[in-house]
Amino acid sequence: METAYRVFILLVLLSGLLISAGIAFRNGSPNGTDFYYHLKYAEKYANGQMALFDPQLMENNKGPYPPLFHLLLAIPVFFGFGIQFGALLQAILYPLVLLSTAFLVFKLGGLKPAAFTAVVLLSAVAFFDRGGQVTPQSVDVIFMPIAAFAFFKRKELLFLVSTAVMAYSHAPYSFLLLAPFVLYAFWKNFNKNAVFKAVAVSLPIALLVLWFLPSMLSAAGGVNTTQEQLIYHDPFYLLAFIGPPLFVVFLISVFYFFKRKEAAVPDEENGLKQFGLLWLACLTPLLLVFPDRFASYAAQPIAVFSGLVLGRIIAKPWKILFVLSVLLLLGWLYNTIPYWNLLLEGRLVPVP
């Protein structure tokens, strides 16, 4: 069966590569308009300017944007191929996000739950919509599973680097991702020293964000995206944006997790399930200001938790293959194929 699990994970990665690379090759540039906002920061850094406190750029968020993502992007901008480098990132980021998430579950739960995690995550529309763009949020969703892996395996340096990359690329959102580590460390009395160090490393950017937090919260009010407008108009669109297959699987997984006693579950696997629920809970403040962002972030812990539970409750080989096939098909029908059609219709063309 292990070969079958690898095949399903590979099919998910190829599906993600197909749509993300398709966008890159068709447009020759990243999808979405957000990339060009971040490109402006990178251009200023590349020209030797302090973009962090640039008044025009700060007008959008009413505060400074963490510099790491922009500084890294400034390197190809300096050499004159910023757009081309962005297109390359567009092609590979989404498959990397899927791989990173499956890797976490594989290392702590095994190949079988990793396959379930991958196929359910493929159906998450919001996850591709944001995680598949060349923005600092893609940095978050790539490095969050790496940080979780390092946290549970006590690889302190990797944990500190991963959390720092998130903090200095996408604070204050990344603080919602640091929060479950803090809660889990104190709840389980586990790896608290590494968490203290991660908080200390993130403290400078946290203090900077805190100084501008009132103005940044005021800028977050109102409707900021089309998806947010649809969610406010019809709250059920939030479930559609997360992905009905993923949401239904999550409800089933929650029921089994709390109602069915599992025997001989390894500590790391059970710990990751509990951590996944904390991870999801810590994202709920986004519902108040950016419900569309909540959907895009929440899909990852939902998939991790659901994949681990499904890996336990489905045991017979024919049932495993059947459920994996159905979930993969739903991922194609609900997410990959519709986005591919939008691409062919020319509706995924960015507007600089």
Q: How far apart are CA 274 and CA 294, in angstroms?
A: 19
- d(Cα 180, Cα 276) in Å, to the nearest integer? 8
pLDDT of residue 222: 58
* Residue 231: predicted pLDDT: 79
With beta carbons less than 8 A apart as the criterion, state whether 297 and 140 touch: yes
Residues lower than pLDDT 50 in the chain? none
How far apart CA 127 and CA 292 sit, in angstroms, is 10
- SS3 (DSSP) at 148: helix
pLDDT reported for residue 230? 75
CA distance 318 to 263: 22
317 vs 10, 250, 350, CA distance in Å? 19, 21, 44
pLDDT per position as a tens digit, 72-92: 999 999 999 999 999 999 999
Cβ-proximal residues to 151 (8 Å cutoff; 6+ apart), any chain: 159, 181, 184, 191, 194, 195
By the 8 A CB rule, do 132 and 34 touch?
no
How far apart, in whole angstroms, are the C-alpha atoms of residue 168 and residue 65?
A: 9
Structure tokens at 255: 């029921």
Query: Hey, where are the domains in the chain?
Result: 2-25+93-344
Burial 31-41 (b: 16+ CB within 10 A, else e): bbebbbebbeb
For residue 140, count other CB atoms closer than 10 A to its CB. Answer: 25
pTM, two decimals, is: 0.94
pLDDT at site 26: 87
Tokens of 142: 């790539």
Q: Residue 105 in contact with residue 117, Cβ under 8 Å?
A: yes
Q: Give the tens place of pLDDT for each residue, 34-74.
A: 899 999 999 999 999 999 988 888 888 888 999 999 999 99
User: Are 349 and 29 in contact, with CB atoms under 8 Å apart?
Assistant: no
pLDDT score for 224: 64
Residue pair 135/344 in contact by the 8 Å Cβ criterion: no
177 burial class (0-12, 13-18, 19+ CB within 10 angstroms)?
buried
Tokens of 254: 């929650």
Structure tokens at 203: 């403290």
Q: What single letter denotes the amino acid at residue 45?
A: Y
CA–CA separation, 330 vs 325, rounded Å?
9
What is the rounded distance in angstroms from the CA atom of residue 344 to the CA atom of residue 330? Answer: 20
pLDDT of residue 74: 97
- DSSP alpha helices (H): ranges in the chain? 2-27, 34-46, 55-61, 68-78, 82-109, 111-121, 125-131, 136-152, 156-170, 173-188, 192-220, 226-233, 237-242, 244-259, 267-282, 286-289, 291-313, 317-331, 337-344
